[in-house]
A and B are shown apart, each in its own frame.
Chain A
Amino acid sequence: MSETVQQKSGPVHGQTIHLPAPTHWPIILAFGCTLAAGGLVMNLGISILGAVLMIAGCIGWFRQVLPHEAHEDVPVVVQPITIATRRRVVERIQIHPEHRAHLPVESYPVVSGIKGGIAGGVAMVIPAVIYGQIAHGSIWWAVNLLGGAGVAHWSHVTDAQIAAFHGDWLGIAIVIQAIVCSLVGLLYGAMLPMLPRHPILLGGVLAPLAWTGLLYSAMGIINPALNAHIAWGWFVASQIVFGVVAGLVVARQEKIRTSRGLPFVARMGIEAPGLIESNLDAGPPRSTRQNEEKH
């Protein structure tokens, strides 16, 4: 146990400390406000009484603080008290080097994800077109399935209509494909550095399989008509082509350093001298200092 001693650097107090003096004006003003409000539904006389109390409360309050704030002097008596702990020993949580997830100290630039998404989006069209040609004799089949999902009367469409060329459906399909592939590509670029190992296998094969499984289980509820026209085997193939191509394109881009090691305020771009102290050399970063005390 260690007993504390008098502070040397802080301002030293005197025999007394100025504190705001107790006053009854706030309660009178509050009571006046309440009566003034309540009188509107009870009796106008009560409101008038409330207004009088409000005026009295305001005047009394102003006189409390003008020209000088009323205060009382509270006497101070110094007695030493103890700030100590029984838990003197500090342990560090031991983190095995292999245990911790990889910090993304390096990452791919944002644009690489978009590039990968666009490349994957173009590549996945190939198996989709092949499927349409083989199964339905039309290269527009998959295009119309995608574009038709955005058209109001889709549920009444026939197979012949799906197989035919529709300019508006093609346009819608291109927009959907471009947006979705760019967003997925962005996600891909962000996640790839974080995957511990086999990023292409995880991101290019397993993730599309999981995504397809989710869609397979939900599509029957979300859009039964669309679900009836999807060949899920080919769907998986096109998803995997997207994943592998997008992954390869992203992985070929040059990595850039992230600001992960910088202080939070600096990462947020806040210029705040004095807000944090320059003590970067003082010890390990906070994230590794998960200290705990022994009982």
Chain B
Amino acid sequence: MADQSIPIGGSLDVTPRDHERVPLLDRLHEWVVTVDHKRLGILYVLYALFFMAVAGAEALSMRIQLAVPNNHFLQPELYDQFFTMHGTTMVFLVGMPILFGIANYIVPLQIGARDMAFPRLNAFSFWLTAFGGILLYWSYIGGFGLYGMGNAPDVGWWAYAPLSTKPFSIGPTIDYWALALIVSGFGTLGTAINIIATTLSMRCKGMTLLRMPLFVWLMLVVSALTLITITPLTAAQVMLLLDRNLGAHFFDAQAGGSALLWIHFFWIFGHPEVYVLVLPVFGVASEIIPVFSRKAIFGYPAMVAASVGIAFVSLGVWAHHMFTVGMTSVSNTFFVLSTMLVGIPTGIKIFNWLATIWGGKVRFQTPMLFCVAFIFQFLIAGLTGIMLAVAPWDWQLHNSYFVIAHFHYVLVGAIVFNIFAAVYYWFPKVTGKMLSETLGKWHFWLFLIGFHLTFDTMHFVGIMGMPRSIYTYEANRGWGHLNFIISVGAFIQGIAVLIFFWNVIVSLRKGKEAGNDPWDAWTLEWATPSPPPAYNFASDPVVHSRRPLWDIKHPDDPDWKYES
């Protein structure tokens, strides 16, 4: 076994800070032509945060519209555009880019590499994603020219046929939607290929697969899942474009096509897509919870196996979104059971996170607060998921606000909470500055309160029969008070996010210096300066366990003695 007094080579070197004043245009040019994984990661995150603000504004507009009965704050057409663009933006332009951006920055550092395997492909992938998003929003102007409030896709983020076909959606807005997602989809595929190649071929000496940080493992799994799931969506969008523009009939039931085919294609992509979004944040939680509990992750091999298991099972559950379309009882039963199967590996993960916290010296700093909230919220999301996996229950609540509440519990309660945790955790590494703990706690508590006001209450209006996507409702339905509470909660979340942005700006200017390892953590990225130099590590690191920095900090009690 190697001598544990030997440190990681890259930890010794820092590039001197360049104090020369570089003109703004030159600096912008550096970012435009960069192939550095760290800069591209930052670009991904900034891009996603911008669209998070846009989609958040759309959501708040919808909540004003629904806050009281018979409201006409928005025009009905604009409301339809907003819920379509909100969903599309949050999934394709916020969720995936921000998670792939964090992975872009962190994965090479955690495995001791100097860059991604294909740096130019990495840049190409980012710019494709970015231009895809711009093309989508260009539809407001280019859809039918800029008149009134403009035009944009208005068929929901799922764009079900036949609504999305030419006879029911005249004009080019759906074409914009399909083309924009095809373009950004190729960007996503490029990033996924890059992460897989980087993880498999560029790990530093000693970093076996079973010594990789769990975040890296999860990104490897997610990237493989992405390759499988983006493809059917792209194929379906090409078919939709052919239907709409060249007279094909894939989804035209009157000409021998099948509208159901679109739903199958969409959800073969759509359900694993949820896991593409949630698995990376499992990785985030698996990095943060041990560090703030001062313990090694509980059950590392089981966590890896559960991650692979979740990805595998997620490919066979798509039709639980389709219980109401009239499938056979055998199909219904299969998808009920396969969906429930997801609960097993997911349960393993939740128990392992709890077991990691159990008995630890827990520090409830902002990243940990978000992670703890995530565990319990994701548990509730999983339970309502199991409820909706039961076909008869789903028949009653399909397309109701109960479903909206369930998936926002996943997308916000789990994913967004952990994205914030990740930003608070790795911001010091990226910028060299600490985010303010005081503002961070304000952000956390307000966001938590707003989240529960909004999405807990949505379950109730859903059970009371309120359908999703409706523009307004009559006062006598009894949904008014609950919808008002939901809207209040949404605005509290909006305030919390503003505090977060304020925190970022203030901390960048006046934040406390972070140093290379502010959390006393154990993975390789903390062995580099903050921010890391362009080459990450001057000498190739050599690791001997899953926690290489633990081994250096505790030479008398290193992990490699115990890991099997």
Contacts and interface: CB of A to CB of B under 8 A. Distances in A.
Interface string B537-552: 0111110000001001
A197 interface: no
A264 interface: yes
Given A7-B8, A9-B2, A27 B33 contact: yes
A4 B11 contact: yes
Contact of A27 (B36, B127, B135): B127
B456 interface: no
B535 A17 contact: yes
B442 interface: no
A6 interface: yes
- The residue among A86, A282, A294 with the most chain B CB atoms within 10 A of its own CB is A282
A28 to B, nearest CB: 9
A40 B179 contact: yes
Interface of A: 4-13, 17, 19-27, 29-31, 33-34, 37-38, 40-42, 61, 64-65, 74-88, 90, 93, 263-265, 274-277, 279-280, 282-286, 289-295
Nearest to B116: A20
A294 B361 contact: yes
Given A37-B135, A77-B13, A279-B1, A286 B128 contact: no
A283 B142 CA distance: 67
A291 B361 contact: no
Contacts of A42: 142
Nearest to A72: B534
A76 B15 contact: yes
B534 A19 contact: yes
Contacts of B134: 34
B360 interface: yes
Given A8-B6, A23-B33, A27-B33, A81 B11 contact: yes
A75 B16 CA distance: 9
B183 interface: yes
B539 A41 contact: no
Nearest to B5: A5
Interface stretch (B69-77, B204-212, B318-326, B474-482): B204-212
Contacts of A9: 2, 6, 542
Interface of B: 1-2, 6-9, 11-16, 30, 32-36, 114-115, 119-121, 123-124, 127-128, 130-132, 134-135, 138, 142, 172, 175-176, 179-180, 182-183, 186-187, 205, 208-210, 241, 245, 293-296, 298, 300-301, 359-361, 516-517, 520, 526-527, 529, 533-535, 538-542, 549, 552-554, 557, 560-564
Q: Which 8 pairs across A and B sit closest by C-beta, in order of nearness?
A: A30-B127, A34-B131, A4-B7, A264-B301, A26-B124, A7-B9, A26-B123, A10-B9
A74 to B, nearest CB: 5
24 contacts: A5-B7, A7-B12, A9-B2, A11-B540, A17-B538, A19-B534, A20-B119, A30-B131, A34-B132, A41-B175, A65-B120, A74-B15, A78-B12, A78-B538, A79-B16, A85-B553, A263-B564, A264-B564, A275-B208, A276-B208, A279-B563, A283-B562, A286-B564, A292-B294
